[in-house]
């Protein structure tokens, strides 16, 4: 226990009282716990990867959500995590997502294997983009005829 925890429970007379106090301090009451679960479930349901994010960013956000749920007693199994991560991929990864769904349908994929697969895909896509010739932007100006004072005479 750290100094703050000791200061919180120094007045408690029994181990049970100490434990109860620490549970409320760190996990909150059952109402707070339910609110945390509801919030994390909402984040889980709405979870998506944005086009400008990297796989590592997506995995970090997703892991925080699923670990939070697990620590509150609402764990999500591997297959659900895999399917949620595949569904969270942006539209630019639609072909990859379809391939992964088909692959996962044939045999259960481990989450770590999915992450490795997505990171490999991301690296290969970046390498292709870097090797592709850069398109030059061409700027054109449009002219419109104007009427001058001389045209009215």
Residue 148: what pLDDT? Answer: 63
The answer to whether the CB of 122 falls within 8 A of the CB of 94 is no
DSSP string, 66-128: HHHHHHTT----HHHHHHHHHHTS-GGGHHHHHHHHHHHHHSPPPHHHHHHHHHHHHHHHHHH
What's the rounded Cα separation, in Å, for the pair 131 and 18?
Answer: 62
**Chain segment 61-117, per-residue pLDDT in tens:** 999 999 999 988 899 999 999 999 999 999 888 898 888 888 877 677 899 999 999
Does the global pTM surpass 0.75?
no
């Amino acid at each position: 226990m750290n100094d703050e925890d000791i200061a919180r429970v120094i007045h408690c007379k029994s181990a049970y009282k100490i434990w109860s106090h620490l549970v409320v301090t760190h996990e909150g009451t059952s109402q707070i716990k339910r609110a945390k679960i509801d919030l994390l479930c909402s984040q889980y349901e709405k979870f998506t990867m944005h086009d400008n994010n990297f796989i590592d960013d997506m995995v970090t956000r997703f892991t925080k959500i699923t670990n939070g749920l697990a620590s509150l007693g609402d764990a999500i199994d591997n297959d659900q995590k895999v399917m949620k991560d595949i569904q969270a991929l942006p539209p630019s990864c639609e072909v990859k997502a379809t391939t992964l769904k088909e692959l996962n349908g044939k045999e259960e994929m481990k989450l770590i294997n999915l992450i490795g697969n997505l990171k490999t895909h991301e690296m290969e896509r970046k390498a292709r983009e870097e090797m592709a010739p850069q398109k030059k932007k061409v700027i054109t100006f449009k002219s419109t005829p104007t009427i001058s004072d001389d045209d009215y005479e």
